[in-house]
Amino acid sequence: MPFTLSTWTLAIVVGAVLATAVLLALALSRLKASGAEQDAGSPVDGGEQSNGDEITQRLPPSVRPDVQGAAGATLRAAARTDRGRVRDINEDDTLILDLKDDSGIVRTALYAVADGVGGKEKGEVASHTAIEATIRALQAHPFFENEAYLRSDFDDADVVEIVRGAVMTANREVYSTKVEQSSDMGTTLVLALVLHGKAFVANVGDSRAYLVRDNRAQKLTEDHSLVERMVASGQITSAEARLHPRRNVILRTLGSDPQVEVDLYVEPLQTGDRLLLCSDGLSSMLPDEALAQIADRERDVDRACRALVRAANEAGGTDNISVVLAEVMGSVDS
């Protein structure tokens, strides 16, 4: 879903309330996977030229003033999606949605990566549906509709349940779409709601969230995959899992059943932290050590995203590759 520079400027001005920002999210902050199907050398969104090895689509980094001493995190984020070197279409989808208060400070941001499955563009429908449904579910909740998220006196457990409910709503919408279209579509989903110095992370499937701190990548989520289960039981190592012939077997996805179990995590953030969300097209190509090194060495988050995609392609690019990278720039005081 293409966006224009003038509309992006509008997003910076009016992106204070989720009820308004939901429209901006659907029109602007989305990276439509189908947009990555461009010829090498053609302009990609954001005004950058792609090259023959990397045909990506990117969102201009969301930059807000670094206001020290503000309650909540000041964030900078970027995203890239790439179809890789083997797949004909890109079934991934990504989201960056920033919210500012009246002072212009980002206190809340929502990031997501969805990796669709089903083939023949059905996976693309599933990933697109999941992210849109999640946004709508959050928008409709009183916590956001009444701007309660601007206050810091919330209970973490309440936010966890809000996020869980949004993902379960997304699951029902993907499942309904699957039934209506008589398809086998489904999608993974990993999302992070960053709120007052904490990341509320949810995942279904094998798309991951990492916390990059001090040049180390801490995996925040657990893959719902066969190889992850084999690693946990000691049958294979993490390195062997990346090459295992059944590494693509996913045990849990959105849309497979009317109900889904959602894993949720709450992670305190520090200034300088980077939060990385990605599809398995990235994590299956690179060990965690390489992810951390690349994500941490580039000061600019968009360049870091580009470097991560390039490294995954150089390692084989056997799947669609998507990454969202957010950096905590300011105070995370609660």
| Residue 246 domain-assigned (yes or no) | no
| pTM exceeding the 0.85 threshold for the entire prediction | no
Residue 240 above 90 pLDDT? no
For the chain, the maximum distance between any two Cα atoms, rounded to a whole number of angstroms, is 54
| Residue 113 domain-assigned (yes or no) | yes
| Residue 231 domain-assigned (yes or no) | no
Pairing of strands 321-328, 274-278: antiparallel
pLDDT in tens, 127-167: 999 999 999 999 999 998 888 887 878 899 999 999 999 99
| Residue 130 domain-assigned (yes or no) | yes
Specify the pLDDT at position 225.
78
Specify the pLDDT at position 295.
96
| Residue 244 domain-assigned (yes or no) | no
Specify the pLDDT at position 270.
93
User: What is the domain extent for residue 69?
Assistant: 5-220+253-328
- Looking at the chain, the whole-number percentage of residues with pLDDT higher than 90 is 57
Specify the pLDDT at position 8.
25
| Residue 245 domain-assigned (yes or no) | no
Q: 100 near 106, Cβ under 8 Å?
A: yes
Tokens at residue 314, please?
Answer: 């150089």
Residue 315 above 90 pLDDT? yes
Residue 25 above 50 pLDDT? no
Specify the pLDDT at position 120.
62
| Residue 96 domain-assigned (yes or no) | yes
Specify the pLDDT at position 107.
67
**How many whole angstroms separate alpha carbon 212 and alpha carbon 233?**
26
**How many whole angstroms separate alpha carbon 167 and alpha carbon 135?**
9
pLDDT in tens, 80-137: 999 999 999 999 999 999 887 777 776 689 999 999 997 667 999 999 999 999 999 9
As for how many domains the chain has, the answer is: 1
| Residue 63 domain-assigned (yes or no) | yes
DSSP 21-73: HHHHHHHTSEE-GGGG---TTSEETTTEEP-SS--EEEEEEEE----TT-BS-
What does the pLDDT average to over 249-255? 90
CATH code of 72's domain: 3.60.40.10
**How many whole angstroms separate alpha carbon 88 and alpha carbon 204?**
25
Q: 146 near 137, Cβ under 8 Å?
A: no
Secondary-structure breakdown of the chain: helix, strand, coil percentages, each rounded to the nearest 5: 35, 30, 40
State the pLDDT confidence band at 329, using cuts at 50, 70 and 90.
confident
Specify the pLDDT at position 100.
74
